[in-house]
Amino acid sequence: MIRKLSTSSFYIQLYQIVDDRSSDQIISWSKSNNNSFIIWDLKKLRSDILSKYSSVLGRNLTEFVAKLRSHGFRSVVKGPGELEFSHDDFARSPLMKKMMVKALSERIEKFDAQIKAMKCRLKAKKASLNVENLFQNLRI
């Protein structure tokens, strides 16, 4: 079963990495297919990318490939030392980029709202503690 592309952290992080021109020597969009990417340098992928994004992409190549497959990516046959993965809904396009940016922005807004709510609860708790301290000081 191939999963439809959602805006999960995995897809967002993977898209950002594949779309980042500075990592093209390691991982980049396929020149022959807009729905796939190629891993050019497995060692650098492990040391430079997976080590940095292990919580989302996986700690090692085996976990990364397993996550790709569980998210609907399939292997494309390539030459030795090259890995290519394809997904019908994972595409290099301005629309996809817009969707990923929008999804990321929504996550940031949600996170900001959670922080704001936590600050409000913390402020209320602090005020409650101040009132309790005032009452305790009056009793003494």
CB contact burial 51-90 (16+ within 10 A = b; e otherwise): eebeebbbeeeeebbeebeebbbeebeeeeeebbbbbeeb
- What pLDDT does 56 receive? 86
* Domains: count for the chain: 1
- What pLDDT does 140 receive? 62
**Residue 126 CB partners (closer than 8 Å, separation 6+):** none
* pLDDT tens over the chain, length 140 residues: 344 444 477 888 898 899 999 999 999 999 888 889 999 999 999 999 998 888 888 889 999 999 999 888 999 877 776 789 998 888 777 656 666 666 667 777 787 888 888 898 888 888 787 777 777 777 76
- What pLDDT does 38 receive? 93
Give 27's strand partners. 39
- What pLDDT does 32 receive? 85
CATH number, domain of 41, equals: 1.10.10.10
Nearest to 29 by CA among 43, 45, 40: 40
- What pLDDT does 97 receive? 63
Torsion over CA: 40, 41, 42, 45 (sign): negative
- What pLDDT does 82 receive? 74
- What pLDDT does 98 receive? 63
What is the domain extent for residue 113?
Answer: 1-139
Do 138 and 131 touch, CB atoms closer than 8 A?
no
- What pLDDT does 48 receive? 92
- What pLDDT does 54 receive? 84
Nearest to 39 by CA among 98, 82, 99, 92: 82
Which residue carries 């891993």 as its tokens? Answer: 39
